[in-house]
């Protein structure tokens, strides 16, 4: 069964998953020609090795704690923290505890 992508003006719940993190997968919330929003589900110890995104990034920690590394500098992020990155900037993520993260990619070269 395909995961539902939200329609314009549809309310999307980003309530903490808590103990449901182990049973929930990362999924795209919505995607348009201009942007994409993804809810990353990261169990403690999960590592996303260095990679690049095809646009500018907005990263918000919804719950838990992660280590976000960009430009060679690790940054601790906890619930409620947010940062942004320039397009194609290499970055990596490590969950230091069960965490969920909202990642929004703004496609700057798709006009």
Structural domains of the chain, count: 1
* pTM of the entire predicted model: 0.93
Q: Which residue segment(s) compose the domain that 74 sits in?
A: 20-106
Domain-embedded: residue 88: yes
Count of beta carbons in the 10 Å neighbourhood of residue 8 = 6
| Residue 66, domain CATH | 2.60.120.10
Residue 12 CA to residue 8 CA, distance in Å, equals 10
Residues 21-58: tens digit of each pLDDT? 999 999 999 999 999 999 999 999 999 999 999 999 99
Domain-embedded: residue 84: yes
Domain-embedded: residue 78: yes
């Amino acid at each position: 069964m395909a995961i539902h992508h939200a329609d314009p003006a549809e309310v999307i719940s980003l309530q903490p998953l808590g103990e449901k993190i182990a049973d929930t997968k990362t999924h795209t919330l919505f995607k348009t020609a201009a942007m994409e929003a993804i809810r990353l589900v990261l169990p403690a110890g999960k590592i996303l090795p260095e990679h690049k995104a095809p646009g500018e990034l907005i990263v918000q920690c919804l719950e838990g704690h992660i280590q976000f590394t960009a430009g060679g500098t690790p940054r601790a992020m906890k619930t409620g923290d947010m940062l942004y990155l320039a397009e194609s900037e290499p970055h990596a993520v490590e969950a230091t505890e069960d965490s969920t993260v909202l990642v929004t990619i703004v496609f700057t070269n798709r006009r």
